[in-house]
Amino acid sequence: MFVGRIEELSELEKRYKSHSSQLVVVYGRRRIGKSVLIKEFCKNKTSLQFEGLEREQTPAQIQHFIASIKRQLKDPMLDGMIFKNWRSVFLYLNDKLSPDKKIILFFDELPWMAAGQGKLISLIKYFWDNYWKDKKVMLILCGSIASFMISKVIKSKALYGRINFQLRVDEFSPIEAFQMLRGKRSREEVLKYLLTFGGIPKYLEEINISRSFDQNLEELCFFKDSIMVDEFEKIFYIQFRESQLYIRIIESLKNRALTIKEISESIHFSSGGGLKSYLQNLENATFIEGYIPFMRESNSKFKRYRLIDDYLSFYFSYILPNKRFILTKQKGQIYRLKIKSALSIWFGYAFERFCVKHAFYLAERMGFADQVINAVPYAEREQENKGFQIDLIYERADKVITVCEIKFYSEEIGVEVVREVNRKCSLLKIPRGFTLEKALISLYGPSPTLKTLDFFQHYLTLEDIFNKRSLD
């Protein structure tokens, strides 16, 4: 069942309806649903679709491409034809394109198709300039290796000025995740899945909606054949060539946000341009996020990086420390005896991370998304008992600072929160001319008594997070 992706489909449809040929680049991490999205877009349209083969060299890629052409065009002449290079392949393909009929050419997993080299991109440029752009062609170049798609495609000299649209496919929003689980599970359960796996469609697809969260988590993560046990290795060994260095960077960020200098010291790697490019690749793949601390200049040397991938956070907390036991013990023992009782505390921290990650999404529901300049966690170091931490703070263009208190409680929040938030607000240095607002983000909202105090300007509950009508 295809769900969500309304904005992405709308943008692709807009390009398709253009009177001119369109060159579109789509990228995003593995498991994010790029191919599913584009195949949904291609429904009821004339298209030719090709997919690269993982870890194969050019001859195998060409052979696979030709097999795809034969299957889709059903051309018997292909049986006796030999193609020694991509140029001869594209010349054949070009002869099959009608100048009067619009067609979509979809090259999926382009980095694999190109065998990691830029030569294929140069050839695509030649055929685009000399053949395809003058026909009614919508060429979609798609790939999971973000570093290749950005450096070799989007920023390549070959395709400079030729790309009409680029789309990074991100994980599902909470509403889309709720739709994918078809409303068969409670909001509380859906939230737990998002805190554990994130909004990655492939991971959510593995959930059996006829079973509970505990049953699914045990099945997917905690015995030797579980799909998520080895997912960490698959992510990095396929996504990145220098996988060990990327893993070291990720591990340095598993417990806290760090500056590039602190990352450099942690992994014993120079903080020069090389490390910056590795961090950029991890950002483009949406595993980490760089952010500017509250009220700092955008070019601040204090820029910090944090891990934002939910599965990786869960993996480092519970799968990796228990992996030896997972691979040797009987099914169910590890989760029931060691993991389940510890999750309630972990979910509290994970919910804070979820809210920071989806800060703009939450701001939409509070009605000020168009004013947000920055949204980050904030902490002041302990100084004479004046240290404090703010779970999420918004800096806004309308000269308002919105302080968010985030609570993962299984009941309504009582008046005791007022003293806690008041202390933080009294210690926070607000720029002159700014107004301070307060927001409470929790599962079930304020108690009637707290609400009568009119202390918070904004409330967000689990129902608000998963309710599409809260956007209307």
CB contact at 8 A, 12 and 41:
yes
d(CA 307, CA 321): 18
d(CA 207, CA 211): 8
CB contact at 8 A, 147 and 284:
yes
Is the four-CA dihedral 122, 127, 132, 137 of positive or negative sign?
Answer: negative
Is the four-CA dihedral 241, 353, 8, 395 of positive or negative sign?
Answer: negative
CB < 8 Å & 24+ apart, contacts of 266-275: 269/245
Q: Helices 86-95 and 119-130 meet at what angle, rounded to 10?
A: 30
Average pLDDT over every residue of 39-60? 96
d(CA 30, CA 287): 11
Q: With 60 as the cut, is the pLDDT of residue 469 above it?
A: no
CB contact at 8 A, 143 and 166:
no
For the ranges 20-34, 259-273, 293-307, 454-468, the lowest mean pLDDT is seen at 293-307
- Confidence label for 425 from pLDDT (cuts 50, 70 and 90): very high
CB contact at 8 A, 460 and 366:
yes
Considering the chain, what percentage of its residues have pLDDT values greater than 90? Answer: 82
- Confidence label for 108 from pLDDT (cuts 50, 70 and 90): very high
Q: With 70 as the cut, is the pLDDT of residue 261 above it?
A: yes
What pLDDT, in 10s, does the model give residues 146-175?
999 999 999 999 999 999 999 999 999 999
For the ranges 6-20, 199-213, 248-262, 373-387, the lowest mean pLDDT is seen at 373-387
Calculate the CA 51 to chain-centre distance. 22
- Confidence label for 113 from pLDDT (cuts 50, 70 and 90): very high
304-307 vs 22-27, strand pairing mode: unpaired
CB-side neighbour CA atoms (13 Å) of 47: 19
Q: With 90 as the cut, is the pLDDT of residue 257 above it?
A: yes
Average pLDDT over every residue of 421-425? 95
Q: Which amino acid is at 118?
A: G
pLDDT at 49: 97
Q: Could you check whether 6-168 and 175-352 share the same CATH topology? A: no
Considering the chain, what percentage of its residues have pLDDT values greater than 70? Answer: 97
pLDDT at 470: 47
Q: With 50 as the cut, is the pLDDT of residue 267 above it?
A: yes
Average pLDDT over every residue of 181-188? 87
d(CA 109, CA 401): 43
- Confidence label for 471 from pLDDT (cuts 50, 70 and 90): very low
As assigned by CATH, the class of the 359-471 domain is: alpha beta
Average pLDDT over every residue of 415-444? 96
Q: What is the three-state SS of the chain?
A: CCCCCHHHHHHHHHHHCCCCCEEEEEECCCCCCHHHHHHHHHCCCCEEEEECCCCCCHHHHHHHHHHHHHHHHCCHHHHHCCCCCHHHHHHHHHHCCCCCCCEEEEEECHHHHCCCCCHHHHHHHHHHHHCHHHCCEEEEEEECCHHHHHHHHHCCCCCCCCCCEEEECCCCCHHHHHHHCCCCCCHHHHHHHHHHHCCCHHHHHCCCCCCCHHHHHHHHHCCCCCCCCCHHHHHHHHHCCCHHHHHHHHHHCCCCCEEHHHHHHHHCCCCCHHHHHHHHHHHHCCCEEEECCCCCCCCCCCCEEEECCHHHHHHHHHHHHHHHHHHHCCCCHHHHHHHHHHHHHHHHHHHHHHHHHCHHHHHHHHCCHHHEEEEEEEEECCCCCCCEEEEEEEEECCCEEEEEEEECCCCCECCHHHHHHHHHHHHCCCCCCCEEEEEEEECCCECHHHHHCCCCCEEECHHHHHCHHHHC
- Confidence label for 472 from pLDDT (cuts 50, 70 and 90): very low
- Confidence label for 242 from pLDDT (cuts 50, 70 and 90): confident
Q: With 60 as the cut, is the pLDDT of residue 331 above it?
A: no
d(CA 127, CA 446): 62
- Confidence label for 336 from pLDDT (cuts 50, 70 and 90): confident
Q: Which amino acid is at 111?
A: P
Q: With 50 as the cut, is the pLDDT of residue 429 above it?
A: yes
d(CA 62, CA 75): 17
What pLDDT, in 10s, does the model give residues 391-411?
999 999 999 999 999 999 999
Q: With 90 as the cut, is the pLDDT of residue 417 above it?
A: yes
What pLDDT, in 10s, does the model give residues 73-91?
998 888 878 899 999 999 9
What pLDDT, in 10s, does the model give residues 187-212?
999 999 999 999 999 999 999 999 99
pLDDT at 384: 58
Q: With 80 as the cut, is the pLDDT of residue 468 above it?
A: no
Per-domain residue ranges for the chain? 6-168, 175-352, 359-471
Q: What are phi and psi of 401, to 5 degrees?
A: -110, 120
Distance set, CA 253 to CA 52, 248, 263, 290, 425 (Å)? 33, 9, 8, 11, 28
Q: With 80 as the cut, is the pLDDT of residue 358 above it?
A: yes
Could you tell me which CATH number the domain at 175-352 has? 1.10.10.10
Is the four-CA dihedral 387, 388, 393, 396 of positive or negative sign?
Answer: negative
pLDDT at 144: 93
Comparing 142 with 242, the larger pLDDT belongs to: 142
CB contact at 8 A, 150 and 337:
no
Residue reference for tokens 């988590």: 217
Q: Which amino acid is at 184?
A: K
- The CATH number corresponding to 6-168 among 3.40.50.360, 3.90.1150.10, 3.30.450.20, 3.40.50.300 equals 3.40.50.300
pLDDT at 338: 87
Average pLDDT over every residue of 333-347? 90
Specify the length of the chain in residues: 472
Average pLDDT value over all residues in the chain: 93
Is the four-CA dihedral 83, 87, 91, 97 of positive or negative sign?
Answer: positive
pLDDT at 442: 98
